[in-house]
Amino acid sequence: MKRIAVFTSGGDSPGMNACIRAVVRTAIYYGVEVYGIRRGYNGLIKGELVKMESSSVSNTIQKGGTILKSARSLDFMAPEGRRLAFEQLQKFEIEGLVAIGGNGTFTGATLFYEEYGIPIVGAPGTIDNDLYGTDYTIGYDTAVNTALDAIDKIRDTADSHERVFFVEVMGRDSGYIAMPCAIGGGAEIVLIPETKTSITDVISTLQNGWSRSKTSFIIVVAEGDEEGNATEIAARVKEAIPQMDARVSILGHIQRGGSPTAADRLLASQIGIACVEGLLNGKKDVMAGFVNSRLVYTPFKDTITKKKIINQRFVRMVEILSV
């Protein structure tokens, strides 16, 4: 393999630049030319490829976002879009791809591989930490620490004004951000998609707390919880407890930005190297990840379809520590 390309797709996550940097420098280390594809699959379709040198990724490991830009591409999900993308790869004589992204990125990658046989190795770049085949995804640790810092600040106000705060964190169908934030932030309640917590349960916990002279509460809500988002849940609880002084805080996209933590920089660098070495060793249609500190390559179809189970010990910890 003489020439490869790397791109980022879907939602950005802190550490993507560290991964790009590792891919570029690993390719150069092995004497392989490397191109960067700007704006994900959309850029591939349009031929937005630029040759990368070692200097191209200087002073990037500490930066959030992605220097290659990112986009979601409806065009690539159509056969015609993938055909145009393949033609661009032929034009630039690209023999393999490193795809940095999440579920949607890998769905497109496996379709592309099935149709055109282009070897693709994926790097799990998403703050949600919801991909099967790796214990941690690139950007997750930073997102948790960003959210936790916000919750610590909200706790000060909740305590000062004796209020109940409903704090919504990202996670789509996953409680992986919400759970460590709830434990680390001392939250009294956490609502995540993986476990059933009813509005009745929330009301009961609040009333039990007040009976013990507790005056403030933090309730962490994963945006994909089955009971609804934080605003909806707060409104329903308020209906049952009209005297409750409640506020809603939606942390939103602040969780995606910022300089990556040391853990994310290290993980992204390891995975970037593993992606290039995987391509050079014949890996294709797989994601590189670490499970129990061991490098593993998981088929894209498994990363897309298999459910990553949240540790039930964490659920129990919230129950015990909120007493």
| 26, two tokens | 């690993």
d(CA 130, CA 105): 13
Query: Which pLDDT does position 272 carry in this prediction?
Result: 98
**Residue 221 in contact with residue 230, Cβ under 8 Å?**
yes
Average pLDDT score, the chain: 96
Q: Are the beta carbons of 237 and 244 closer than 8 angstroms?
A: yes
Is residue 213 annotated as involved in ligand binding?
A: no
Residue-wise pLDDT for 55-77, tens only, equals 999 999 999 999 999 988 999 99
Q: Is residue 223 a known part of a binding site?
A: yes
Would you say 134 and 270 are in contact if contact means Cβ atoms under 8 Å apart? no
Q: How far apart are CA 290 and CA 282, in angstroms?
A: 19
Q: Is 105 annotated as a binding residue?
A: yes
User: E strands of the chain, at which residues?
Assistant: 3-8, 33-37, 49-52, 96-101, 120-124, 164-169, 189-191, 217-222, 246-250, 286-291, 294-299
Q: Is 82 annotated as a binding residue?
A: no
Q: Which residue has the tokens 């600040």?
A: 153
Print burial letters for 89-123: b (CB count within 10 Å at least 16), e (below 16).
beebebbbbbbbbbbbbbbbbbebbeeeebbbbbb
How far is 95 from 106, CA to CA, in rounded Å?
Answer: 18
24, 6 Cβ separation under 8 angstroms: yes
Residue 66 annotated in ligand binding:
no
Q: What is the mean pLDDT of residues 168-196?
A: 93
pLDDT of residue 62: 98
CATH class of the domain comprising 3-139+260-305: alpha beta
Of 128, 141, 225, 285, the active-site residue reads 128
Q: What is the C-alpha separation between 308 and 305, in angstroms, rounded?
A: 10
pLDDT tens for each residue of 254-271:
999 999 999 999 999 999
Predicted pLDDT at 269: 98
Q: What distance in Å separates the CA atoms of residue 262 and residue 259, rounded to the nearest whole number? A: 9
Please indicate whether the domains covering 3-139+260-305 and 141-256 agree at the CATH topology level. Answer: yes
Q: At 184, is the pLDDT very low, low, confident or very high (cuts 50, 70, 90)?
A: very high
Rounded CA separation 13/256 (Å): 5
- R_g over Cα of the chain: 22
Residue 190 annotated as lining a ligand binding site: no
| Ordered DSSP codes for 42-73 | HHHHHT-EEEE-GGGGTT-TT--S-TT-----
Answer yes or no: 135 catalytic.
no
* DSSP three-state, residue 125: strand
Structure tokens at 144: 């948790």
Q: For 141-256, which CATH superfamily applies? A: Phosphofructokinase domain (3.40.50.460)
Known binder of ligand: residue 127?
Answer: yes
What pLDDT does residue 315 have? 83
Q: Determine whether the annotation assigns residue 107 to a binding site.
A: no
Rounded to 10°, the helix 262-280/140-161 angle is: 160
**Which residues touch 133 (CB under 8 Å, ≥6 apart)?**
124, 287, 289, 291, 296, 298, 302, 303, 306
The domain limits of the chain are: 3-139+260-305, 141-256
Q: What is the pLDDT of residues 86-117, one digit of tens each?
A: 999 999 999 999 999 999 999 999 999 999 99
pLDDT, tens digit (0-9, with 9 covering 90-100), for 109-125: 999 999 999 999 999 99
